[in-house]
């Protein structure tokens, strides 16, 4: 199955970001992708952290998002249906019981435009190097449950896909939880890694998650200079189950396209049956 990581350099303007996302989804679909994934905060990289609260949406009806109340969800649903692809909608802010904080959520839409999965980012990023400081907990609430779902490809094959977001990458126990009952075929991690942390750890940790779970990893990222002064690392990637980088884009908007190889994954798991040797957890 062909998959695509869509890299963006999102702006403070939602309509502009949605238009670019729709263009990239269509481009990936035309290239043969059956599943596409957008980066974290694809719909908004605000000038201030609290800007996301102003666009936070109520969770829409799974079958028919209301464009008036939930325009971002409606746009994702329509793009999935129009292009006949599975869309993993990066992240968007969803309203919570706390007016001062939202959930940073991944929503998944099938090729019929129906929402089939939701994952709320569990681990909230905090970083302070004396020059730049980030604390997502000031505007976000953490999720609590790992989420995996099943994709049926056009040939009728099924793929188990585990969801995660950005800072989650540093917590291998989340990925073990996703594979506890049944191994995943693909782990998807939308991200907006800072340039500083990305340069140091992005590829290293992505390849580690692939190797330790003998699993494909698809990581769509924000990549470039944003209007709020932040620089994200980019380097959206598709990684194979042996840790091999199958595709990457350094910076700028674009599509990283590649193919999930089930036979290769099965061979690696047969040759090195580490998943069956787990004792703890």
Closest CA to 42 of 220, 181, 216: 220
Pair 212, 172: CB distance under 8 Å? yes
Beta strands in the chain (DSSP E): 2-7, 35-37, 86-88, 92-94, 102-109, 115-120, 126-128, 133-135, 140-141, 148-152, 158-163, 186-188, 216-219, 223-225, 231-233, 236-239, 245-249, 254-259
Q: How many CA atoms lie within 13 A of 6 on its CB side?
A: 31
- Residue 127 CA to residue 130 CA, distance in Å, equals 9
Closest CA to 203 of 178, 162, 179, 169: 169
Catalytic residues: 40, 121, 166
- Compute how many other C-beta atoms are within 10 angstroms of the C-beta atom of residue 207: 18
DSSP state of 220: -
Spatial neighbors of 29 by CB under 8 A, at least 6 apart, are 36, 83, 84, 85
- Residue 52 CA to residue 92 CA, distance in Å, equals 8
């Amino acid at each position: 199955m062909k998959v695509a990581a869509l890299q963006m350099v999102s702006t403070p303007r939602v309509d502009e970001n949605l238009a670019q996302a729709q263009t990239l989804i269509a481009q990936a679909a035309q290239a043969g992708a059956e599943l596409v994934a957008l980066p974290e905060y694809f719909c908004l990289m605000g000038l201030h952290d609290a800007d996301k609260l102003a666009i936070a949406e109520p969770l829409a009806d799974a079958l028919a998002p209301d464009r008036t109340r939930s325009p971002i969800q409606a746009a994702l649903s329509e793009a999935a249906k129009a292009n006949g692809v599975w869309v993993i909608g990066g992240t968007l802010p969803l309203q919570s019981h706390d007016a001062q904080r939202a959930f940073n959520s991944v929503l998944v839409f099938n090729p019929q435009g129906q929402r089939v999965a939701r994952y709320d980012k569990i681990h909230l990023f905090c970083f302070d190097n004396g020059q730049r400081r980030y604390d997502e907990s000031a505007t976000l609430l953490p999720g609590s449950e790992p989420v995996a779902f099943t994709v049926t490809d056009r040939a009728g094959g099924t793929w188990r896909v585990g969801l995660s977001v950005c800072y989650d990458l540093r917590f291998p126990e989340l990925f073990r939880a996703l594979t506890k009952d049944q191994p995943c075929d693909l782990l998807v991690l939308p991200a907006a890694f800072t340039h500083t942390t990305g340069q140091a750890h992005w590829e290293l940790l992505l390849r580690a998650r692939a190797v330790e779970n003998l699993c494909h990893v698809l990581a769509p990222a924000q990549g470039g200079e944003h209007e709020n002064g932040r620089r994200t690392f980019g380097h959206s990637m598709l990684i194979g189950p042996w840790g091999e980088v199958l595709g990457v884009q350094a910076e700028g908007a674009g599509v990283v396209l590649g193919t999930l190889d089930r036979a290769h994954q099965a061979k690696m798991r047969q040759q090195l049956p580490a998943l069956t040797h787990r004792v703890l957890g």
